[in-house]
Chain A
Amino acid sequence: MSTNSRRTGSVATDPQISKFEKAFCRDARWEKTELQDVVFWFLVIISSILGLVWGCLGLTGYLGFMSYIGASFAASVYYYSTFLGIDEEEYGGKSALLQEAYTSALGSFLFTWIFSYTFVHYDLLD
């Protein structure tokens, strides 16, 4: 997508485009459920990547958990407020956007963290 179309919002305001195309557009018009979906997938993907990286790096314990919570929260807030240009208050605030997604995101983080940590740091034939 060109920078111009982003600035003018011509693609973003086109009702024909899907929510996943809008996920890469600034200042698009969102339905609340659409935005919740996109934030959900964003958080799940980010959490899976973080879990994979944390497991490979060998981060453990509270440090692993706290750094995950900090990094995922910062990434998701940056994504919807800076990248998408959303005013969170229009959609019920942070809690409405993130609460539902965080349960699944935590599951995906734990899943990839445990698997990558086990596979990278322990003898596979053990």
Chain B
Amino acid sequence: MWISALQVLLIALANAGSAEYLGYRLVYGTDDYQSVKRGLSRVTAKLESEESSADSGNPRKRQRRIAELKKQIKVYKEKATSMTMRTTLLMAGLQIAVFYFLNTVGFSGVVVAKLPFTPFGFVQGLSHRNLPGEDFTDCSAVFLFVVSSLFIRNVLQRYFDFSIRQVSPWSTAFEQAQETNL
């Protein structure tokens, strides 16, 4: 069991490492992307100082400046998203290839780990994929790969800090809800 688990861990490490490397070579290390990143951090810093500054001057003008800065941030983010589109597609292709390998050729029917919990119904489809028996604490290679990738990729992304940070969908929804209430 442990050899299979370590193999899956190595695959996840290689996958996350190659994704970061390709991302850097194709997008994040390019001059265009770097200038967008610099522009975005400059405008974000301006917005933060504008929002945290004491209420001096005309509040209407201040509101207008904040709205303008928010619009600029949106434009920068859209530019960055369009630049990363190509690598996103490439990564998705790579991910599908790894999933196919884990599901069929490499680890079909192999229990790679024991889960210390019984997953929810819809997660069982992933955690018990292609496994025999009804013991839902048996863990498939695909599930271990997903969990390992979630951990490794997030840590690598934060450590290297190549890309522009994406706002979590939760906080976006929260902000939208607040704006709707206002």
A residues with CB within 8 A of B: 32-33, 37, 40-41, 44, 54-55, 58-62, 64-65, 95-96, 99-100, 103-104, 107-108, 110-111, 113-115, 117-119, 121-126
Q: Is the CB of A118 within 8 A of B114?
A: yes
Q: A60-B117, A62-B117, A103-B154 are in contact. Are A114 and B139 (CB under 8 A)?
A: yes
Total A-B contacts with CB atoms under 8 angstroms apart: 81
Of B25-33, B67-75, B82-90, B145-153, the one touching chain A: B145-153
Q: Is the interface of A mostly helix, strand, loop or mixed?
A: helix
Of B58-66, B92-100, B101-109, B166-174, the one touching chain A: B166-174
Interface presence of B113 (CB below 8 A): yes
Number of interface residues of B (CB under 8 A): 26
Q: Is the CB of B158 within 8 A of A115?
A: no
Q: A96-B171, A103-B168, A107-B147 are in contact. Are A54 and B116 (CB under 8 A)?
A: yes
B residues with CB within 8 A of A: 1-2, 5, 9, 48, 113-118, 139, 144, 147-148, 150-151, 154-155, 158, 165, 167-168, 170-171, 174
How many whole Å from B105's CB to the nearest CB in chain A? 23
A-B contact pairs, 13 of them (CB 8 A): A32-B48, A33-B165, A40-B158, A103-B168, A114-B116, A114-B139, A114-B144, A115-B5, A118-B113, A118-B114, A118-B139, A122-B1, A123-B1
